[in-house]
């Protein structure tokens, strides 16, 4: 009986201990599950926050890049508009100069000549529209006649000698047939004359380049070496250089053109 009476409480105690252990185990499991859930939630929050931050950052970068591209495109567009406006103003000025000296020139030819002069002014760094027009105006005796010939045989708008023209044509890639066929063609004449004049101005500056164009490079070199002593130049060249430069200044300053 004693054993039995003692055994029963012990048995009850074991049952209580078992229940308490189970309770602690289940409680531990529940606490562990809650901890896992909390950790999972925190991880999810971090991931979502990071994703949102990356998305915003990426979106900003994309938007910034898009804005930069738009700004760059607008800048290029403004430059193109400026170039086009400059071209139109130059063509208008050249055609007005031609019309002033040769009102009878056909409009189609006048436009073609104006366009070629503009192209040469863009191609050659030592030339501009006013300088080319001044040279042609004086060389053609203020006629802008594409078939004008001087007393010494210089031909066309820029008064090119046949031997010089043949040499320049080979450099320019223009097929040389006859002097008349090439040098009386105003586009070819301007192309050859501007090629030659650009090189001379590059070597001797504007006044020296004009002196060389009219009287030859050797005479121009002597003139420059002698501090521009006009006694060295031919009489024609003495008159030629200031006459062209005067026209050049007039064309630059004339706001009606």
**What's the gap between Cα 161 and its chain centre?**
36
CA distance 73 to 13: 88
In tens, the pLDDT along 205-248 reads: 999 999 999 999 999 999 999 999 999 999 999 999 999 999 99
Position of tokens 């979502």? Answer: 48
**50 in the same domain as 114:** no
Measured CA to CA in angstroms, residue 217 lies from 60, 118, 136, 203 at distances of 63, 26, 19, 9
Is the C-alpha dihedral spanning 110, 113, 115, 121 positive or negative? Answer: negative
State the chain's maximal CA–CA distance in angstroms: 159
DSSP conformational letter for 232: G
**12 in the same domain as 78:** yes
**110 in the same domain as 96:** no
Query: 149 has which bridge partners?
Result: 155
Tokens of 233: 């130049």
**217 in the same domain as 128:** yes
Q: What is the pTM of this model?
A: 0.72
**34 in the same domain as 149:** no
**92 in the same domain as 111:** no
**122 in the same domain as 93:** no
What is the 3-state composition of the chain as percent helix, strand, coil, each rounded to the nearest 5?
A: 80, 0, 20
**Residue pair 91/115 in contact by the 8 Å Cβ criterion:** yes
User: Per-residue confidence at 70, pLDDT binned at 50, 70, 90?
Assistant: confident
User: Per-residue confidence at 19, pLDDT binned at 50, 70, 90?
Assistant: very low
Q: How many domains does the chain have?
A: 2
**Residue pair 65/226 in contact by the 8 Å Cβ criterion:** no
Range of the domain at 81: 1-101
**68 in the same domain as 171:** no
């Amino acid at each position: 009986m004693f054993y039995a009476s003692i055994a029963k409480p012990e048995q009850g105690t074991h049952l209580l201990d078992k229940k308490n252990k189970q309770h602690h185990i289940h409680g531990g499991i529940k606490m562990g599950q809650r901890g896992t859930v909390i950790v999972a939630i925190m991880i999810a929050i971090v991931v979502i926050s990071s994703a949102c931050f990356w998305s915003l950052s990426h979106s900003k970068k994309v938007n910034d890049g898009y804005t930069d591209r738009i700004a760059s495109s607008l800048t290029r567009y403004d430059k193109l508009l400026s170039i086009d406006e400059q071209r139109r103003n130059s063509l208008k000025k050249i055609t007005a100069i031609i019309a002033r000296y040769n009102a009878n020139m056909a409009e189609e030819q006048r436009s073609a000549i104006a366009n070629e002069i503009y192209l040469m002014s863009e191609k050659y760094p030592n030339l501009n529209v006013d300088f080319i027009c001044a040279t042609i105006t004086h060389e053609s005796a203020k006629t802008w006649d594409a078939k004008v010939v001087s007393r010494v045989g210089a031909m066309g708008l820029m008064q090119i000698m046949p031997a010089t023209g043949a040499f320049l044509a080979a450099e320019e890639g223009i097929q040389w047939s006859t002097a008349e066929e090439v040098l009386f063609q105003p586009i070819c004449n301007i192309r050859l004359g501007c090629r030659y004049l650009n090189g001379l101005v590059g070597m001797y500056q504007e006044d020296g380049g004009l002196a060389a164009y009219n009287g030859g490079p050797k005479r121009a070199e002597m003139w420059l070496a002698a501090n521009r002593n006009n006694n060295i130049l031919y009489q024609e060249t003495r008159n030629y250089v200031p006459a062209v430069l005067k026209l050049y200044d007039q064309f630059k300053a004339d706001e009606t053109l």
